């Protein structure tokens, strides 16, 4: 390897170390830190963010990247990909002042603690001034970049490289009427019964069962762990330390199982990343949509499938005989796939989930364009929930305060959830072509071939390929809604006898 490439990797490795150290602090803030530590934690994160930013935007990095472009012209090589991805990140980062990075870290740390309090008290007013500051900082961030076709493009590109707001809106415009049509057909059918899902289940037993499931999936506990947090998430400190968090909801106890599957899907993607990319910008998932395709696949296409129920339900029934003793397997399968407009995105069924995402996209665009005043968000949220799903949240906690993302300044993020659903269906069709006995394997509780396929086709490449290129490489098509509509229509036509 050339001397200059070694120099670049040394600097990028230090930047990676700083970012991962910040991730440890962020994980601790979610899992262990007492509320009183938020101000100091914000300062700590600000310091690490500032140092990392200064290192990654130094003239030395810029000069090395410029020199290495001619030294490694092959874009398909690991070196060529590293230079391409690093250059893209460098060119974006140099536009953002280090002082801004520090200021944003402090603001979002305080906003996170205020969000927890506001959600617990179901009072948006507590969170409002912090969100106003976060949104102002988001708009300031956009101002550092050349005018795009839409200001939201700048935010979206951070999570879905190359994707434009207009592309996402077009995909959603095609998707929404088809999902609404399916939901209307389901509404006119006989509704399934699911009351047994909401009885009082023992928290420890549910938690333990969630870990049994993801162990069978292939989540490597030597390189991961599951802890409690206000909002489930996955975080990576290295390819050998990828953690998940989860929560137990007394009014929806079995949601813990599906949160574990979801977050383990993210974590297994990270665990499958090429170890050679460690401490470089090539490590991790190529985009949030591709990342979400992994989590939604394990949660829904595996976890809510009939073969999955055929394997796991008998054991679940033995674990909770008083709750599930009289429930038949098909009843359980239909219950966990019940379609009904609901308030909480993370617990939404597959047929309505994307509508929750579309609502959030509209909200974020409205905030970025300054069409929506922050003080009016609860009212706007409730009106859009009524428009999209025909229901109105009874309080802020179940409405505008339900997601953690805005407290962390993560705007541009939400649409990737729906895009991930679409990618998961495209991949699922390809997997079933390549593995025609997949249902039988799942029925027997064997997931190693499925995980192996994902490792070979998706995980190992990490960020070497841009998301659209990776989806095209694996499925033969760029991100498209057709496969997802086919998946939903077939699944729910059978469940609801449409």
Tens-digit pLDDT profile for residues 41-66:
999 999 999 999 999 999 999 999 99
Same domain, 143 and 186: no
Q: What is the pLDDT of residue 325?
A: 92
Same domain, 227 and 114: no
Same domain, 96 and 37: yes
Tens-digit pLDDT profile for residues 400-439: 999 999 999 999 989 999 999 999 999 999 999 999 999 9
Question: Bridge partners of 259?
Answer: none
The boundaries of the domain holding residue 104 are 3-147
Same domain, 220 and 348: yes
pLDDT at residue 149 greater than cutoff 90: yes
Element at 237 (helix H, strand E): strand 234-238
Asked whether residue 156 is assigned to any structural domain, the reply reads no
Domain final residue pick, 147, 178, 196: 147
* 241 backbone dihedrals φ, ψ, rounded to 5°: -150, 85
According to DSSP, the β-strands at 241-246 and 226-228 are parallel
Same domain, 334 and 475: yes
- Taken as a whole, the chain contains a residue count of 498
Tens-digit pLDDT profile for residues 352-367: 999 999 999 999 999 9
CB-CB contact of 443 with 311 (8 Å): yes
Asked whether residue 159 is assigned to any structural domain, the reply reads no
Asked whether residue 293 is assigned to any structural domain, the reply reads yes
Q: Is 456 left (phi over 0), alpha (psi -120 to 50) or beta?
A: alpha
Same domain, 80 and 13: yes
pLDDT at residue 440 greater than cutoff 80: yes
Same domain, 346 and 399: yes
Same domain, 213 and 319: yes
Asked whether residue 75 is assigned to any structural domain, the reply reads yes
pLDDT at residue 495 greater than cutoff 80: yes
State how far the Cα of 458 lies from the Cα of 435, in Å rounded to an integer: 16
State how far the Cα of 160 lies from the Cα of 291, in Å rounded to an integer: 10
State how far the Cα of 22 lies from the Cα of 492, in Å rounded to an integer: 43
Asked whether residue 97 is assigned to any structural domain, the reply reads yes
Share of the chain above pLDDT 70, in %: 100
Asked whether residue 448 is assigned to any structural domain, the reply reads yes
Is 286 strand, coil or helix?
Answer: coil
pLDDT at residue 1 greater than cutoff 70: no
Tens-digit pLDDT profile for residues 447-464: 999 999 999 999 999 999
Tens-digit pLDDT profile for residues 461-493: 999 999 999 999 999 999 999 999 999 999 999
Tokens describing residue 111 = 């906003």
CA angle 404-375-359, nearest 5°? 55
The enclosing domain of 383 has a CATH number of 1.10.1370.30
DSSP code for 241: E
Q: What is the pLDDT of residue 76?
A: 86
Strand order in the sheet with 241-246: 226-228, 241-246, 234-238
Same domain, 219 and 281: yes
Q: How far is CA 482 from the centre of its chain?
A: 21
Tokens describing residue 49 = 């963010």
Same domain, 174 and 125: no
- Catalytic annotation present for 369: no
Identify the CA nearest to 449 among candidates 304, 289, 302.
Answer: 302
Asked whether residue 305 is assigned to any structural domain, the reply reads yes
| Mean of pLDDT values over 9-15 | 97
pLDDT at residue 246 greater than cutoff 80: yes
CA angle 162-168-169, nearest 5°? 145
CB-CB contact of 434 with 374 (8 Å): no
Same domain, 124 and 271: no
Q: What is the pLDDT of residue 421?
A: 96
Selecting among 263, 350, 362, 364, the annotated active-site residue is 263
Same domain, 214 and 345: yes
Q: Would you list the DSSP string of 122-154?
A: T-HHHHHHHHHHHHHHHHHHHHTS---SSTHHH
State how far the Cα of 44 lies from the Cα of 28, in Å rounded to an integer: 12
pLDDT at residue 212 greater than cutoff 90: yes
Domain final residue pick, 99, 114, 147: 147
Asked whether residue 154 is assigned to any structural domain, the reply reads no
What are the residues whose beta carbons fall under 8 Å from the beta carbon of 297, sequence distance 6 or more? 265, 424, 427, 428
Tens-digit pLDDT profile for residues 282-324: 999 999 999 999 999 999 999 999 999 999 999 999 999 999 9
Question: Bridge partners of 236?
Answer: 242
pTM listed for this prediction: 0.92
Q: What is the mean pLDDT of the chain?
A: 95
**Count of the separate structural domains present in the chain:** 2
Domain final residue pick, 147, 177, 210: 147
State how far the Cα of 158 lies from the Cα of 150, in Å rounded to an integer: 14
């Amino acid at each position: 390897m050339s001397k200059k490439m070694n120099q670049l990797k040394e600097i990028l490795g230090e930047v990676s170390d700083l970012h991962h150290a910040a991730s440890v602090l962020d994980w601790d803030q979610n899992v262990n830190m007492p509320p009183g530590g938020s101000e100091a934690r914000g300062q700590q994160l600000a310091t690490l963010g500032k140092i990392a930013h200064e290192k990654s935007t130094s003239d030395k990095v810029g000069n090395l990247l410029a020199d290495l472009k001619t030294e490694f012209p092959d874009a398909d090589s690991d070196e060529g990909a590293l230079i391409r991805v690093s250059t893209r990140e460098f060119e974006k980062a140099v536009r953002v002042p280090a002082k801004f990075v520090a200021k944003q870290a402090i603001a979002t740390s305080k906003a996170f603690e205020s969000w927890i309090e506001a959600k617990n008290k179901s009072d948006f007013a507590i969170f409002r001034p912090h969100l106003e500051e976060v949104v102002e900082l988001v708009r300031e961030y956009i101002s550092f970049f050349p005018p795009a076709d839409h200001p939201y493009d700048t935010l979206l590109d951070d999570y879905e490289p190359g994707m434009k707001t207009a592309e996402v809106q077009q995909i959603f415009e095609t998707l929404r009427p088809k999902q609404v049509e399916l939901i209307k057909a389901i509404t006119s059918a006989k509704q399934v019964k699911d009351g047994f899902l909401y009885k009082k289940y023992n928290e420890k037993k549910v938690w333990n069962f969630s870990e049994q499931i993801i162990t069978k999936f292939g989540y490597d506990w030597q390189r991961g762990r599951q802890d409690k947090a206000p909002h489930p998430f996955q975080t990576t400190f290295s390819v050998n330390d990828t953690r998940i968090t989860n929560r137990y909801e007394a009014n929806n106890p079995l949601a813990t199982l599906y949160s574990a599957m979801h977050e383990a899907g993210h974590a297994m993607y990270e665990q499958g990343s090429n170890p050679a990319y460690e401490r470089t910008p090539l490590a991790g998932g190529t985009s949030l949509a591709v990342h979400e395709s992994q989590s939604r696949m394990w949660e829904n296409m595996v976890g809510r499938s009939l073969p999955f129920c055929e394997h796991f339900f008998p054991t679940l029934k033995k674990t909770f005989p008083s709750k599930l003793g009289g429930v038949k397997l098909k009843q359980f399968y239909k219950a966990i796939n019940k379609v009904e407009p609901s308030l909480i995105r993370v617990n939404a069924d597959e047929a309505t989930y994307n509508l929750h995402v579309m609502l959030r996209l509209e909200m974020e665009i409205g905030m970025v364009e300054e069409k929506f005043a922050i003080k009016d968000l609860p009212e706007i949220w409730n009106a859009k929930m009524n428009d999209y799903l025909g229901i109105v949240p009874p309080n802020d906690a179940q409405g505008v305060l339900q997601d953690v993302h805005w407290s962390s300044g993560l705007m541009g993020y939400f649409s990737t959830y729906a895009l991930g659903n679409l990618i998961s269906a495209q991949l699922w069709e390809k997997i079933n072509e390549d593995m025609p006995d997949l249902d039988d394997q799942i029925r027997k509780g064997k997931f190693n071939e499925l995980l192996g396929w994902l490792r070979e086709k998706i995980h190992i490449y990490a960020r070497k390929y841009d998301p659209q290129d990776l989806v095209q490489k694996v499925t033969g098509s760029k991100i498209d809604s057709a496969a997802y509509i086919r998946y939903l229509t077939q699944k729910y036509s059978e469940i609801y006898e449409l």
